[in-house]
Structure 1
Amino acid sequence: MEGSIESRTSHEVDNWLRWLPRWHPGTHRTRARLCHQCFGSPVIAAAGLSEDVPHAVQHALAMRMKIVVDASVDEYTEQHLPRLSHELRLDDLRRARRAYRPTEGLDPEHRGLDLDPPAAPDAPYLFTLGDLAGLPESDEADEPRPLSADEKAAVLREVAVSDAYAAEAGRRLCVELAKHRARMRAAVAEFVEPQVQALLADLGSTLDSPLWPRGS
């Protein structure tokens, strides 16, 4: 696949459209807080999915678009920002020493979601995935030497350059994503809206059950 932001965006939109027919409304859990990846996201707005679209559908697209921006920023950092690239490699090595990493290797539509569903009130407590992810790191490898003040300043300058590049990559992605808006909205209308309407109809029939007591 060509490495441009535009081609990668188109590729990930195609992947999202292939995933969408497999989506079904979740009924086993609710979110306890807003998703910062999706709420107010310019990516979701560019796709035309800001309103009347379930969060899981938005989130799957947002995480695929994050892959596009992250890949572009990683390539730019590796090629043009050597100090920052070195520090990121060291951080990757530190992360690799963790005993368990439950957030890695997930499909894009599941990344960034809560690790653990709400516990049942009467369920025995053993441990959660979040607990395992928080285990201390191994001390097998030596810690790198601290950076000098000049080295820290140099890394921070490269971080600022990387942030600026990421913002520009995000803008380019949104421009490209808007070109796919019509087919994404059509897919939502075909695969998502009928399921949402069926769920609402089922809820309405439950609330209007003849078995419920009625007021005088």
Structure 2
Amino acid sequence: MERTLEALVGRAVDAWIAWLPRWKPATHRTRTRLCRRCIGSPFLAAAGLDGDVPHAVQHALTTRMKGIIDTVVDDYTEHNLPLLAKELRETEKRKELSYRPEVGLDPEFDGLQLDPDPVPGEPFLFTLGELAEDGGVPESLRPIELSEEEKQALRTEIRLADECADHAGRLVCLALQEHRMRAREAVQRIIEPQVDAMLDALSESLDMPPTRW
């Protein structure tokens, strides 16, 4: 698994670097919620990007790394954890019956909140989160009550899946360290000039004397 993960991480970093020129400084209203995927992320620490790097740039990398781990855990679950695999398949079937705006997003957008923070006095007519709420689920797809033995077996399989994810995460971090220099170089070459230009423009606008009529 280690060699496979090294190759997957290398290709993911390649894709992330290829995406970097598409990033532009945000000009819209910022959101107040912290991104749980990026705050304190060991992936960013391993890649040397846990410092003063725009969140969108960080998020595009962490999401790609999470996707690698999800693939490893899904494969392990499908081949080794039958109860958990069955539960996940049935959960996926139930989700397919509802609107899911978070599905199919590009990596740099995956995991972000679907709706902006509300502005006091300006209510939304509707939100994507509300549209994504589960509707009626047919009786045949509703969860079946498990026996105590099945519940205990399922807890064991969930623990094994968590251990697989933890192991894969450690290997991904080790692999990311091999790409640390080129990740930092790409940010310095592509991202930092845009940030500097934005700060220079902001500084000029603040220093500009008031217009006299």
> Shorter chain as normaliser: what TM range?
over 0.9
Distance in 2, Cα, partners of 1:87 & 1:9: 29
Matched AA of 2:113: D
1:54 paired residue number:
54
Q: Cα–Cα, structure 1 residues 132 and 87, in superposed 2: closer, same or farther, change >3 Å?
A: same
Report deviation, 1:18.
0.7
Distance in 1, Cα, partners of 2:26 & 2:106: 17
Corresponding position: 1:8 with 2:8: yes
Matched AA of 2:182: R
| 3-state SS of 2:193 partner | helix
Contact 1:47 1:178 in 2 (8 A): yes
> Scaled by the length of structure 1, what TM-score is found?
0.91
After the TM superposition, which of the residue ranges 133-142 and 189-198 deviates more from structure 2? 133-142
2:90 paired residue number:
90
Matched AA of 1:80: N
| 3-state SS of 2:108 partner | helix
Aligned residues: 211
Q: Cα–Cα, structure 1 residues 107 and 137, in superposed 2: closer, same or farther, change >3 Å?
A: farther
Q: Cα–Cα, structure 1 residues 123 and 111, in superposed 2: closer, same or farther, change >3 Å?
A: same
What aligned pairs does 1:66-77 form with structure 2 within 5 A after superposition?
Answer: 66-77=66-77
What aligned pairs does 1:1-216 form with structure 2 within 5 A after superposition?
Answer: 4-98=4-98, 100-118=99-117, 125-139=124-138, 141-211=140-210
- For residues 101-139 of structure 1, the C-alpha deviation after alignment (integer angstroms, 9 at most, x for no partner) is 000010010011121234566767321111111242433
Matched AA of 1:211: P
Give the unaligned 5+ runs of structure 2: none
Give the unaligned 5+ runs of structure 1: none
Aligned-residue sequence identity (percent) comes to: 50
Q: CA RMSD in A?
A: 2.1
Distance in 2, Cα, partners of 1:124 & 1:93: 33
Contact 2:44 2:58 in 1 (8 A): yes
Report deviation, 1:46.
0.3
After the TM superposition, which of the residue ranges 170-179 and 130-139 deviates more from structure 2? 130-139
Report deviation, 1:94.
1.1
Distance in 2, Cα, partners of 1:67 & 1:88: 17
> Scaled by the length of structure 2, what TM-score is found?
0.92
Report deviation, 1:180.
0.5
Distance in 2, Cα, partners of 1:138 & 1:209: 61
Report deviation, 1:29.
2.4
Q: Cα–Cα, structure 1 residues 162 and 142, in superposed 2: closer, same or farther, change >3 Å?
A: closer
Distance in 2, Cα, partners of 1:143 & 1:118: 33
Distance in 2, Cα, partners of 1:112 & 1:142: 26
